[in-house]
A = this chain, B = another copy of it.
Amino acid sequence: MYVQDNATARQLLRSFMQFDRAEWHKRSIEGCKPSEIKVLLCIKRNVAPPTQEMKVSEISRLLHVTSPMVTQLLKRLEADGLVERHSDPSDRRTVGIKLTEKGDLIATKAAEAFFASLHGLIEYLGEEQSQQLAELLISVSTYFNGKEAALQHTYWSGSEEA
């Protein structure tokens, strides 16, 4: 059984392993660790216009990490002067989180670096193949993580959660 497919399965597995080791998001930028950069970008891309602030729970949901993890990351970012926390007067359990000027600058630089790298990739693969790749990877995520996962948005998606 599966004799014919074995070659494809092995190729796939090998390609997954290699992609896993690929350094597309493992670099520190301006002294920020990858996980910290993700938080900065998440805030930059998802703040609501009136206050320009986000809640811990929103970041947690968008990045798919627990709120204790978000708290820890924010603690470091605050110590580095990249975000500010203000206790929300309308619900004092929550905290409004906002990028500082410095934090915004680093987020911008990080986004530029990410997109420059991606544009290089798109040039390398070609527009059409790049789009196909994105579609295929979403299908793979759907297959492995169940349908919900593929519908969830990450921090760089401009659109809102369903």
Residues of A bordering B, CB below 8 Å: 2, 5-6, 8-25, 64, 114-115, 117-122, 124-125, 127, 129-141, 143-145, 149-150, 152-154, 156-158
| A127 closest partner in B (C-beta) | B8
Query: Min CB distance, A115 to chain B, in Å?
Result: 5
**Bound CA–CA A119/B22 (angstroms):** 24
Given that A9-B122, A119-B9 are contacting pairs, would A21 and B145 also be in contact in the complex, using a CB cutoff of 8 Å? yes
**Bound CA–CA A12/B5 (angstroms):** 27
Query: Min CB distance, A161 to chain B, in Å?
Result: 13
Could you tell me the dominant secondary structure of chain A's interface residues? helix
B15 touching A138, Cβ below 8 Å: yes
| A9 closest partner in B (C-beta) | B118
B156 touching A22, Cβ below 8 Å: no
B residues in contact with A141, CB < 8 Å: 15, 18-19, 21-22
Name A18's contact: one of B11, B118, B129, B149 (CB within 8 Å).
B149
Tally of this chain's copies: 2
B16 touching A25, Cβ below 8 Å: yes
B138 touching A18, Cβ below 8 Å: yes
Query: Min CB distance, A89 to chain B, in Å?
Result: 34
| A115 closest partner in B (C-beta) | B9
| A138 closest partner in B (C-beta) | B15
A127 touching B19, Cβ below 8 Å: no
**Bound CA–CA A134/B64 (angstroms):** 27
B137 touching A124, Cβ below 8 Å: no
